[in-house]
Amino acid sequence: MATLVFPDHPSPVADAEAIYNACKGWGTHEKTVIGIIAHRNWTQRKLIKQAYHDQYQEDLIRRFEKELSGGLERAVYRLMLDPEDRDAVLLHVAIKQGGVPDYRVIIEQACIYCPEEFLGVRRAYQARYKRSFEEDLAQCSTADFRRLLVALVGVYRYSGSEIDAKLAQAEAEILHNAIKKKEYNHEEIVRILSTRSKAQLIATFNRYKDEHGIAITKDLKEDTGNQYLTALRMTIRAMVDPQKYYEKLVRQALTKTGADEDDLIRVIVTRAERDLRDIKDLYFKRNSVTLDQAVAKETSGHFEALLLALLGKQE
Amino acid sequence: MATLVFPDHPSPVADAEAIYNACKGWGTHEKTVIGIIAHRNWTQRKLIKQAYHDQYQEDLIRRFEKELSGGLERAVYRLMLDPEDRDAVLLHVAIKQGGVPDYRVIIEQACIYCPEEFLGVRRAYQARYKRSFEEDLAQCSTADFRRLLVALVGVYRYSGSEIDAKLAQAEAEILHNAIKKKEYNHEEIVRILSTRSKAQLIATFNRYKDEHGIAITKDLKEDTGNQYLTALRMTIRAMVDPQKYYEKLVRQALTKTGADEDDLIRVIVTRAERDLRDIKDLYFKRNSVTLDQAVAKETSGHFEALLLALLGKQE
């Protein structure tokens, strides 16, 4: 369930005008901006952008970039883009940082979004950057990461619920044998994780646990800080239970010194209109403190206000 | 340009009735069947199927399977399926033969069809087989072939016409260095061929030829009968010039002893409503004999009549 609280039929023209007045002259009345932006769904925000442009011949996103700063600016920017375009920007940021791509963003989209949805993001990426995401990803990654990530991005996964129990058993064994020999980059691991349907993979992981008494994610753990292993575990977790995956991501983001703003923003912005309530429930169960409380503790000012509004706090 | 000759508004009910009468009782009046099936576009054939089913509570494709045989049966079967479904069947046949998959069929669809169109085929594959094509392909192929084919199938290639001349130069060198060392299965070759846009690849291949005085396809030739090399060359040829690719495929099919029926049927059936006229023109230029004459020489009977009708022969 979503957390976003928004009115049914707000007037985009009135919203645009209120935002214009809040940004006019010296200083910005952030509270007004947040009161609108964080209480509209993306269709409504799209209409506000349009109304603002028609009324003031100015791009609202650019205006916000001038008026806002820090975490608040980044969060508002992500809120104001169309979801597919926003996700394309997130993918681009993930591979443009140099070094190993931020595989979490890629894995999230490739494994959690449904095939049709992720395809929409890949189309938006092409429209924005005039290249395919695949070619940028393949160019800026290497070796094991390239093989895993490009395969995850390329598959148009079957979404049906049929499973083949024999296949699950056979592939649980293939996985186990490769893991036992510590051949984590084995071609078969990538093949199975990147091509099988989620239902089939869950059956395979269950079989793995039944046969070997340990979850495959536990078996994929070493104390070496091997990032590729982390990516494999994330792939599995994202596929098996997206909400649990997000809960862990947020938990880790909030326990880092100063909190990892980007992760926090990403989860809250991308899930507020979807399943953020479920993620909040899981968070409370796991941490005995509400996500709102944890966010309030780690953030401050207008940025805090925006995140809490997206988390469902009523004025 | 297409070769198929078909009337504007035939009556599907009248067509269905004529086919029913042609198949009734002992023996089949193949000439009637061909006269209809080979002179309707796929929308019209779809309506005939529907009308036949409504009228006689029988699946027309199954009826044809009972009534027809040999090359004629196979060609009619491919004609009667919806294009995406037919292509999904072709993909399935290509990987279910055991051993190395029939990479030609896979390369054709992955490299010649536009991304959206090929995606439609992958969706049709899932609807028919309840699995993704990627998982079947990855499971039944190995090593170099798996890496190349799975990568070609997975990419949602950028279709824009922009090119980056510097990148073309850099990647022409990467390709040349790998080929010079005979590292044909080099990861970079697969990356470049499978992710770059067609426009970019053509610029890269042109650069290759300018710099090294030889076409990349010529450089990818050895007398060892290495099938992987053949697949690489086909990938390049299919991407650079689809009609020329098809012309060569038909030429080779017709010069084999007894002609390769499957290739011949595939090219004629899948291209009759598209660019078979251009392929015919190329064929004549290259062989100084018309494709119709060559087909007539290598085939016979009703099968010949069907192929010639699809090639545009008027009654």
Cβ atoms of A66 and A28 within 8 Å: the answer is no
Partner-chain residue, chosen from B126, B138, B156, that has the shortest CB–CB distance to A132:
B156
Q: How many CB atoms lie within 10 A of CB A228?
A: 17
Find the mean pLDDT for residues B226-248: 95
Neighbours of A64 (CB within 10 A): 20
Of B130, B134, B196, the CB nearest to A135: B196
Give the closest-approach CA distance of A41 to chain B in angstroms. Answer: 29
pLDDT attached to residue B10: 87
pLDDT band at A222 (very low <50, low <70, confident <90, very high): confident
**Band of pLDDT at residue B108, cut at 50, 70 and 90:** very high
Report the half-sphere exposure of B299 (CA within 13 A, side-chain side). 25
Q: Is the Cβ–Cβ distance between B60 and B52 less than 8 Å?
A: yes
Q: Which domains, and CATH codes, for chain B?
A: 12-68 (1.10.220.10), 83-154 (1.10.220.10), 165-240 (1.10.220.10), 242-299 (1.10.220.10)
Span B259-285, mean pLDDT? 94
Task: Report how far apart, in Å, the C-alpha atoms of A185 and of each of A169, A230, A232, A235 are.
Answer: 21, 12, 9, 14
Distance from the Cα of A195 to chain B's closest Cα (Å) equals 5
**pLDDT value at residue B224:** 81
Q: What percent of chain B is modeled with pLDDT above 90?
A: 86
| Chain A: residues touching B (Cβ < 8 Å) | 119, 122-123, 126, 130-132, 134-135, 138-139, 146, 150-151, 153-160, 162, 187, 191, 194-197
pLDDT at site B258: 57
* Residue among B92, B90, B126, B124 at smallest CA distance from B266: B90
CB contact under 8 A, B135 and A158: yes
* B157 chain-A contacts, CB cut-off 8 A: 132, 134
Work out the mean pLDDT of chain B and round it to a whole number: 93
Q: Smallest CA–CA separation between B10 and chain A, in Å? A: 37
- Positive or negative, the CA dihedral B257, B262, B265, B271 is negative
Instruction: For residue A100, name the pLDDT band (cuts at 50, 70, 90).
Output: confident
Is residue B308 within 8 A of residue B39, CB to CB? The reply is no
Q: Which residues contact A124 (CB under 8 A, 6 or more apart)?
A: A82, A84, A85, A87, A88
For the segment A53-68, the average pLDDT, to the nearest whole number, is: 95
* Whether the Cβ atoms of residue A115 and residue A145 lie closer than 8 Å to each other: no
Would the pLDDT of A258 be above 60?
no
- Partners of residue A162 in chain B, C-beta under 8 Å: 130
pLDDT at position B257: 62
Has the ipTM of the complex gone over 0.85? no
Residue A259 has a pLDDT of: 63
Cβ neighbours of residue A272 under 8 Å, at least 6 residues apart? A2, A3, A4, A310, A311
For residues B291 and B275, give the distance between their C-alpha atoms in angstroms, rounded to a whole number.
14
Contact list, B150 vs chain A (CB under 8 Å): 151, 154, 195
- Which residues of B lie inside 8 Å of A (Cβ-Cβ)? 119, 122-123, 126, 130-132, 134-135, 138-139, 146, 150-151, 153-160, 162, 187, 191, 194-197
Alpha helix ranges (H) inside chain B: 12-23, 30-37, 42-56, 60-67, 70-80, 83-95, 103-107, 115-129, 133-140, 143-154, 165-180, 187-195, 198-212, 216-219, 227-240, 242-255, 261-271, 276-287, 291-298, 301-310
Predicted confidence (pLDDT) per residue in B117-151, tens digit: 999 999 999 999 999 999 999 999 888 999 999 99
Q: Determine the distance in angstroms separating the CA of A93 from the nearest CA of chain B, rounded to an integer.
A: 19
Q: Which residues of A touch B123 (CB under 8 A)?
A: 156
Q: What is the mean pLDDT of residues B190-211?
A: 96
Q: Please list every residue in chain B whose beta carbon sits closer than 8 Å to the beta carbon of residue A146.
A: 187, 191
* Side chain identity, residue B44: Q
Give the span between the Cα atoms of B59 and B47, in whole angstroms.
13
Distances (CA, A) of A221 to A182, A207, A224, B68: 10, 19, 9, 60
**Averaged pLDDT for residues A72-101:** 93
Torsion region of A241: left, alpha or beta (phi above 0 gives left; psi -120 to 50 gives alpha):
beta
- Best probe of the B interface among A84, A116, A142, A150, by most B CBs < 10 A, is A150
Residue A300 burial (10 A CB sphere; 0-12, 13-18, 19+)? exposed
- Which site among A125, A131, A147 would you substitute to test the B interface, given the most B Cβ atoms closer than 10 Å to its Cβ? A131
Give A-chain residues touching B132 at CB under 8 angstroms.
Answer: 155-158, 195, 197
Report pLDDT for B315. 65
Residue B192 vs residue B6, higher pLDDT: B192
Q: Write the secondary structure of A88-132 as one string of H (helix), E (strand) and C (coil).
A: HHHHHHHHCCCCCCCHHHHHHHHHHCCHHHHHHHHHHHHHHHCCC
Q: What is the mean pLDDT of residues B290-310?
A: 95
Mean pLDDT of A228-256: 94
Check B151 against A150: CB less than 8 A apart: yes
Mean per-residue pLDDT for A4-33? 89
The pLDDT-based confidence of B100 (bands split at 50, 70, 90) is confident
CA distance A200 to chain B (A): 10
Whether residue B26 has pLDDT greater than 90: no
pLDDT at A26: 78
Tell me the count of A-B CB pairs closer than 8 A: 86
- pLDDT (tens digit, 9 = 90+) per residue, B148-184? 999 999 999 999 999 999 999 999 999 999 999 999 9
A289 vs A14, A251, A254, A295, CA distance in Å? Answer: 38, 11, 12, 10
Q: Rounded mean pLDDT of chain A?
A: 93
Question: What average pLDDT does the segment B49-59 reach?
Answer: 96
Question: How many other CB atoms are there within 10 angstroms of residue A117's CB atom?
Answer: 13
**How many Å lie between the alpha carbon of A180 and the closest alpha carbon of chain B?**
21
Taking only the tens place, the pLDDT of each residue in A169-207 is: 999 999 999 999 999 989 999 999 999 999 999 999 999
- CA–CA separation, B191 vs B139, rounded Å? 21
Whether the predicted pLDDT of A132 surpasses 90: yes
Say what the pLDDT of residue A315 is.
65
Task: Answer yes or no: is pLDDT of A221 > 60.
Answer: yes
Residue B80 Cα, gap to closest chain A Cα (Å): 26
Closest residue, chain A, to B129 (C-alpha): A158
Nearest by CB: B134 against A126, A139, A156: A156
pLDDT-derived band at B256 (thresholds 50, 70, 90) equals: confident
Euclidean distance between CA atoms B147 and B149, whole angstroms: 6
Q: Which alpha helices (DSSP H) does A28-180 contain, by range?
A: 30-37, 42-56, 60-67, 70-80, 83-95, 103-107, 115-129, 133-140, 143-154, 165-180
